[in-house]
Amino acid sequence: MSAPTIAPSPALDGKVRGKKPRFQLTPYSLLVPATVVLLIIVGWPLIQLFVISFQEFGRPQVFGAPAPFVGFKNYLKVLTDPSFWNVMVRSILFCLVNVAVTMVGGTLVAILMTKLNKFFRVLMSTGLLLAWAMPALTATIVWGWIFDTSYGVVNYIFTHVFGLDYQGHSWLINPLSFFLVATIIVVWGAIPFVAFTVYAGLTQIPDEILEAAQLDGARGTQRFRLITLPYLRSIFLVVTILQVIWDLRVFTQIYALQGIGGIRDQTSTLGVYIYQTALSSGNFGMGGAIAVITVFFMMAISLYYVRQSLKEEQL
């Protein structure tokens, strides 16, 4: 004999549903230590940067001279300087190329990892981890040797294997080939993160759905477009926006390549341009203004990322 079902009381059900959740202090108190550390490490330097951007702050001010307040003068100089806009456009184009190549290459590597057996998958994962763990400066120096004018492996292969006249060819003098080398270095270090992230998402797609699509006659590209992409849409969104933010603030690779043989005026990106304006030229006020503009640009991208993430959670 089954137990009788008891219908919930409408009055009680209405009270339970209409009751507001109690405010809990514990989750917010757990955020206090991390918030304090971020305010000290990130917040205070940003405030100082913001203040300096409204001052005439040069080398005398570094040694204690008073810094005159100049209002928006530094921002007007930056925004009316053609060099700044050249650097901005150059940085955005460099970022877009890097992001596109990184996302495509990382996704292909992730798909390849799903097809390999355990031994080769572990071997490839180890190689990706080594590339990811290598410091950017070390990687740039190694790649600089590979593309060296006199002793580089690339020039040797082009000259002695393919029969091309690349003996003594300089890859860093020309801005286009300079950014080609820089793109190789940046993408080489960024692909492991994309590959591991996308591979983790690929392992969560049910095999039954892919097998059913294959039995229905769907080709590999169709399965990827109609099944894999919808499943990994949130992952691709997050990884893409993170790559945009990281590639916009590339500094080490560009600065190190310029030291090896690049022309600074024709190859500087935002990070290097800020450094050259503030430290090399001693104009910390204009350097601060450029940095603040860059921060707001990054914040706009970050807000878009947060907004899209919230939309994904609501779906």
Q: Residue 4 is encoded by which pair of tokens? A: 């009788």
pLDDT score for 7? 52
Mean per-residue pLDDT for 209-232?
82
- Asked whether residue 311 is domain-assigned, the answer is no
Note the helical H segments in the chain: 10-18, 25-38, 44-52, 59-62, 73-79, 82-115, 118-133, 136-146, 153-160, 175-202, 207-215, 220-223, 229-231, 233-248, 252-260, 264-267, 270-275, 284-314
In-domain check, residue 7: no
Question: Mean pLDDT, the chain, as a whole number?
Answer: 85
Residue 113: inside a domain: yes
Letter for the amino acid at 186? V
Residue 80 within any structural domain of the chain = no
Classify residue 184 by burial, with Cβ atoms within 10 Å: 0-12, 13-18, 19+.
Answer: middle
The answer to whether residue 193 sits within a structural domain is: yes
Instruction: Give me the domain span that covers residue 157.
Output: 94-278
Whether residue 23 has pLDDT greater than 70: no
In a domain, 89, yes or no: no
pLDDT at residue 5 above 60? no
Band (pLDDT 50/70/90 cuts) for residue 305 is: confident
CA distance 115 to 291: 45
State both tokens at 190: 């960024």
User: Per the domain annotation, does 265 fall within a domain?
Assistant: yes
pLDDT in tens, 140-160: 999 999 999 888 899 999 998
The answer as to whether 84 is a domain residue is: no
| 93-to-81, 180, 244, 298 alpha-carbon distances in Å | 19, 12, 11, 15
The answer to whether 225 and 213 have CB atoms below 8 angstroms apart is no
Tell me, what CATH number does 180's domain have? 1.10.3720.10
Indicate the number of domains in the chain: 1
- What pLDDT does residue 1 have? 46
